[in-house]
Every structure is written in C-alpha cells, then in structure tokens.
C-alpha cells in the first residue's frame, strides 16, 4: 500500500492524513485491492470545518446566486465531459454494471444543472402585518454543512447533497463512505476546476466511526445530512441534538410494490424485477416487498419468476442486469437472510444465475424471489439491502394498505392499478414519503422531493424542497410609520 495517500481535500489543497495512515480499497468484483484512501479523523475534520467556516466568511458569502449557478453549470458540463472516466471509476469502486454507473454520473451532472438554475430563485415572503410595518421573511444559508453519504451511490449522492448546499450559499465538509470514495475525490477536483473558491467544498476520507463521528459531533457545524442505517442515524441525530443542530436523515426502507388484479402485469413485472436487481438491491428505495392481490397471485408471481430467473449476475464490464454487492460483510449479511428464509420453510420461487464473468473471489449474491412470505417474517419486515424480493398475497384494499404500512419503515411505495379512484384512495393512506403509480423511480427523480417517515428518517432531499432544508428563515420587521 502507498505510504503517502492524498485523498483529503481541505481549503483547496490535497493532503494525506496527519497520521499518514491509509485504508485499502477493494474491488467488489474480485475482492482485490486496487487503491487506497487517506484515513482521516478528528484532526482532519477540525481543519476541514475551519476551512469551510473561513470560506463562508469570505467572498463566497457575497457571491450572487446567479454567479454560484454559473459555477455549478460549469461543473455539470465538466462531469459530462468526464462521463466515461467517472463511470469506469464508479463501476470499479462499487461493482455496479457500467450502464448503471453511466446513468449515475448523468444524474450527478443533472443535480448540478438543476440546482444551478435554482441558485438565484431562493425566494422569501412578504407578510401582511400592522399598518406602518413591513415584514419580510428571508431564506439564508445555514452555514457549514456536514454531509455524510453512503457507498451505494457515491457520485449521485455527491450531487444530491452538495448541489442544494451550494445553491443556497453554504459551504460543506463531505465524508464519503470508506467503501466507495473514489468518484467523490475526482468530482471534488472537478468542482474546483469549475471555479469554486477554496474551502467551499472540503473532502475528508476515512472511517465512519472516526471521521464521520468527528464531523457529526463537531460544535461548529451548522447542519448535518446523513444517509445510511437507522442505527447510525440514531447516533448522528443524538450528536446533532447535543449541539442543537438540525439534520436530514434518510435511513432506508422496506418499500412495497402493491399489484392489484387490474394492473398492467407486463410493465409491473419488468419494473419490479428491474428495481430490486438494480445496484444488486443496494438501494434504500428498492421495492423489496411485492404485494399481489390473491386473485392474481399465481399468474403475476409466475411472470416475476420468469423475469427473475432470467437475471444474470456478473462483473461491471459484462454490463448485465446485476453486479456484486459492495463487500464481503454485505455478501454474508444478504446470504444470511437467504439461508434463514430457506430454513424457515419459505419457498424459493426463482433465482438468477451467475455469468462466467462473476469470479469466485467477488462478492456475488444470486437475486432471489421468495413466496409466499408471512408478513411477520424478517424478509417482510427488515431491510435486506440485497437483490431479494418477498412476494406476499393480499385480499383487498384494506389488507394491502395494512400490510404496506405494517413495517417500521416508510420511504417509498409502488402502486399498480388502472382504477383511478383506487389510485387516489390507496396513495392517500400509505405512510411513505413517495408513491409511484404505475411506475417506479421516475428516472432518478432529481426534481422530486425525497425522504421518509417513521424509521426511514425525516427531512427532504431532491427537488426545490431540499432548498428549504439548507436554509433558515429570518423574519425582518421594519416600522416605517
């Protein structure tokens, strides 16, 4: 391993960790080490927050919204100029098929394009009040934002969090996941090539329990955004509470796909299998439960069986439907769910197959369809975060809604029916942050507010709604007589 790894970016300069320690980066495809990142910790977080604070007080604070937008537009264009380079890096780091990686990089560029256009449109209000007074409500940046992002979509999460933060005039300290930091480092370099002042974006690579914990606990951070597990989310929110800092948490889901007997079965089956196998099922909004009306259960599950059986799993360059999971720990976790379900007597309806590009040392898991799955079983309740789909029959609307809402999560739901009145009735009763009717995911949904309820977290990302999270309202009351 190189003795001097420099993947920490603070105040416009690349550096190694103060300790000179680094962490190996392994490819999910074959388990081999192909790089290293700096093992940043508390000292690096301290310097990064100081740099972000200084940048906040510098020229960035007086940069007009349209000027921030121009820089972000340039960054969007640079990302597209380097699309193939970034996609190859993302595919190698995460194991996802190269087509999925390219889609993620395009989404990253789209985030900066979208928020570039919004940067000079963060509007306030004028409030009616007493005669002789003028009252305005202004939206101001929160300040230094600590962003802790996961390993499943590192590039697009870079855009999803940093885009609205910059559009609203904040500065950031980004802590990417230690399992997938490579694209974030390259995007950081491109951001400064686009013209961002030093200190506006600071990147600290390292372990979550070291660098991530130090960032969430830092008393001079004004806002926190975290995407990850509910367990770590609890630690983040606890740290934020100690410093009276607001936070946005996106903590996963157990999202249902509800299929009624009048649905377009072909489209539903294609979408549902595609969603659960995308990124090897490592998607917080993956529709991991498919609820099928009993009158159509055998027919529709038969269609799912045919599609799941046709899924091939392989290396990124093979560009198949599914790649490996991120690491050995995740592979063992997902395999544990599969083994316990079989041990509990739940039938395996279908499994995908390994392509010859899937080497033995890679972290490959076969996409699997189980059913019927009892609603109390862990496959119907817990987030597997792998390509595992649980089929569950239901009788009518009331039972479908009860099953759909019957987990600790509430992130996304898919609803498949041609009945317009039913679409509205069911959508209103689902306790989730997003409902997709006769579609799912909507092309990345950059414009669509995203977030959950219950154990899925709180706050909203994406769309114009995210601008509210990264700003604070200030009321100004002027007496003019």
Task: Kindly list the catalytic residues.
Answer: 250
CA–CA distance, 314 with 300 (Å, rounded to integer): 27
Three-state SS across the chain?
Answer: CCCCCCCEEECCEEECCCCCCEEEEECCCCCCEEEEEECECHHHHHHHHHHHHHHHHCHHHHCCHHHHHHHHHHHHHHHHHCHHHHHHHHHHHHCCCHHHHHHHHHHHHHHHHHHHHHCCCCCCEEECCCCCEEEEEEEEECCEEEEECCCCCHHHHHHHHHHHHHHCCCEEEEECCCCCCHHHHHHHHHHHHCCCCCCCEEECCECHHHHHHHHHHCCCCCEEEEECCHHHHHHHHHHHHHCCCCEEEECCCCCEEEECCCCCHHHHHHHHHHHHHHHHHCCCCCCCEEEEEHHHHHHHHHHHHHHHHCCEECCHHHCCCECCCCCHHHHHHHHHHHHHHHHCCCCEEEECEECCCCCCCCCCCCCEEECCCCCCCHHHHCCCCCCEEEEEEECCHHHHHHHHCCCCCCCEEEEECCCHHHHHHHHHHCCCCEEEECCCCHHHCCCCCECCCHHHEECCECCCHHHHHCEEEEEEEEECC
Give the span between the Cα atoms of 466 and 32, in whole angstroms. Answer: 38
Residue reference for tokens 């595992």: 388
């Amino acid at each position: 391993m190189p003795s001097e790894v420099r993947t920490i970016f603070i105040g416009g300069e690349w550096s190694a960790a103060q300790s000179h320690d680094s962490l190996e980066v392994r490819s999910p495809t074959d388990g081999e080490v192909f790089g290293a990142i700096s093992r940043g910790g508390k000292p690096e977080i301290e310097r990064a927050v100081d740099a972000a604070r200084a940048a906040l007080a510098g020229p960035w604070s007086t940069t007009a919204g349209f000027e921030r937008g121009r820089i972000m537009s340039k960054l969007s264009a640079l990302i597209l100029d380097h699309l193939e380079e970034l996609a190859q890096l993302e595919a190698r780091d995460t194991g996802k098929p190269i087509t999925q990686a390219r889609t993620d990089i395009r989404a990253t560029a789209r985030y900066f394009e979208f928020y570039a256009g919004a940067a000079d449109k963060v509007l306030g209000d004028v409030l009616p009040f007493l005669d002789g007074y003028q009252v305005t409500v202004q939206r101001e940046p929160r300040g230094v934002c600590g962003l802790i992002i996961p390993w499943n979509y590192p590039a697009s999460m870079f855009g999803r969090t940093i885009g609205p933060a910059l559009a609203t005039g904040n500065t950031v300290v980004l802590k990417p996941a230690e399992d997938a930091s490579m694209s974030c480092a390259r995007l950081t370099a491109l951001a400064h090539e686009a013209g961002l002042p030093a200190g506006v974006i600071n990147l600290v690579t390292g372990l979550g329990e070291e660098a991530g914990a130090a960032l969430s606990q830092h008393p001079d951070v004004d806002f926190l955004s975290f995407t990850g597990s509910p367990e770590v989310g609890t630690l983040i929110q606890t740290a934020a509470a100690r410093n009276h800092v607001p936070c946005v948490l996106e903590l996963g889901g157990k999202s249902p796909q509800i299929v009624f007997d009048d649905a377009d079965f072909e489209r539903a089956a294609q979408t549902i299998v595609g969603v659960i196998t995308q990124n090897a099922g490592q998607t917080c909004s993956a529709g991991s439960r498919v609820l099928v009306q009993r009158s159509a259960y055998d027919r529709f599950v038969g269609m799912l069986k045919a599609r799941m059986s046709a899924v091939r799993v392989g290396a990124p360059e093979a560009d198949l439907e599914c790649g490996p999971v991120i690491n050995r720990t995740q592979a063992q976790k997902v395999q544990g769910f599969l083994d316990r379900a079989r041990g509990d007597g739940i039938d395996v309806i279908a499994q995908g197959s390994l392509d010859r590009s899937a080497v033995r040392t890679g972290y490959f898991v076969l996409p699997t369809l189980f059913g019927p799955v009892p609603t109390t079983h862990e496959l119907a309740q817990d987030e597997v975060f792998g390509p595992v789909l649980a089929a569950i029959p239901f009788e009518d609307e009331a039972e479908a809604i009860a099953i759909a809402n019957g987990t600790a999560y509430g992130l996304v739901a898919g609803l498949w029916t041609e009945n317009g009145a039913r679409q509205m009735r069911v959508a209103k009763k689902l306790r989730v942050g997003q409902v997709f009717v006769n579609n799912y995911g909507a092309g990345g949904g950059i414009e669509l507010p995203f977030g959950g309820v219950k154990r899925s977290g709180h706050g909203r990302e994406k769309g114009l709604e995210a601008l509210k999270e990264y700003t604070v309202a200030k009321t100004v009351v002027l007496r003019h007589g």
